[in-house]
Amino acid sequence: MTLPASIGRYRIDSKLGQGASGIVYCGFDPMNARHVAIKTIPPELWHLTEGRQLASRLLREAVVTQSFSHPNVTTVYASGEEQGIPFLAMELHQGQPLKEYIHKRDTRPLRTRIVDIMLQTLAGLGYIHALGIIHGDLKPANIILLAEGAVKITDFGAARFAKEYTPGMSKVTGTHGYMAPEQLMGQRTDQRADLFAAGVILHELLTGVKPFAGHGTHDITRNILTATPSDPTSFDMSIPAPFYAVLKKALAKRPRDRFQNAETFQESLTLADQNRYAPALNPDGEEGSVQQE
């Protein structure tokens, strides 16, 4: 594929990747003397319906991310158009996706590193949730581990403002295996769907497998809606028992039974690492939050 020489004021040096939400180039910003990631629409799609849909999604991403400023969230520097095609210029990460970190290791990562990754991820989620934004597609492929140990949440192509939900909004977006039950069923979602996805990621980090695996989307959907996550101590006896209690709460079927915010999830995870976490009981006598939807 022939690279464009430039997009906007940015010189294009190489292609970094291409996925469902667009194409990403490595570019150079002469105004600020720094390399950036440029996300835009593949040229071959410009005049197709798919390209117009991607352009609409990218414009929406620009609106959602324009005010981001947090150490655990990717910074978008600028947005614009090139020949009528939108693009985003954002922070260029030197690191690896969490997905690669999980699947390329011969042994499980140290528990201290797992807890650190999750606490940073939850810090980033807490920040965007405080802005009234739902990520909508949190998964290991959208979390970057930087060389110095920092964690960055990226790819807000499915993000939306929580207040935008209206009755009848039933379009299902996200990635199977990480979607909350209400998300799969096209029901109203809020920050607790992102926290469900974070619970899936925690299980995957601890055990190397997703809690609701299956042989296809039908199996995965059924397991998310009905199955109980496996106890991580059955994979590794050195994991403190309270981690299972944290996972069961994070992965509860009903949103009201989950962690209600990222901060509470962080606090509970820290206590579990100290072998001190004990879940509260809701009015039904079940483990879960007493807060209602």
Structure tokens at 204: 């995957």
Question: What gap in Å lies between CA 149 and CA 152, rounded to an integer?
Answer: 10
What is the reported pLDDT for 105? 64
Query: Are the C-beta atoms of 207 and 247 separated by less than 8 Å?
Result: no
d(CA 124, CA 97): 16
Of 255, 239, 244, 248, nearest to 292 (Cα)? Answer: 255
Q: How far apart are CA 156 and CA 178, in angstroms?
A: 15
- Predicted confidence at residue 108, as pLDDT, reads 64
Our CA dihedral for 36, 151, 217, 185, rounded to 10 degrees, sits at: -100
Q: 17: how many CB neighbours lie within 10 A of its CB?
A: 11
pLDDT at residue number 291: 33
Check: CB of residue 123 under 8 Å from CB of residue 152: no
Half-sphere exposure of 182 (CA within 13 A, CB side): 22
- Tokens in use for 83? 């020949």
Q: Could you give the strand order of the β-sheet that contains 151-153, starting from the edge strand earlier in sequence?
A: 95-97, 143-146, 151-153
Give every residue of the chain whose pLDDT is below 50, as ranges: 168-170, 283-293
Is 137 among the catalytic positions?
Answer: yes
Kindly write down the DSSP assignment for every residue of the chain, as one continuous string.
-PPPSEETTEEEEEEEEEETTEEEEEEEETTTTEEEEEEE--GGGTTSHHHHHHHHHHHHHHHHHTT--BTTBPPEEEEEEETTEEEEEEEPP-EEEHHHHHHS-SSPPPHHHHHHHHHHHHHHHHHHHHTTEE-S---GGGEEEETTS-EEE---TT-EEGGG--TT-----S-TTS--HHHHTT----HHHHHHHHHHHHHHHHHSS-TT--SSHHHHHHHHHHPPPPPGGGT-TTS-THHHHHHHHHT-SSGGGS-SSHHHHHHHHHHHHTT-----B-TTSSBS-S---
Give the pLDDT confidence score for residue 228 in this predicted structure. Answer: 93
Considering only CA atoms, give the Rg of the chain: 20
Buried b (16+ CB within 10 A) or exposed e, 39-66: bbbbeebeeeeebeebbebbebbbebbe
**Residue 104's pLDDT is what?**
79
29, 137, 155, 194: the catalytic one is 137
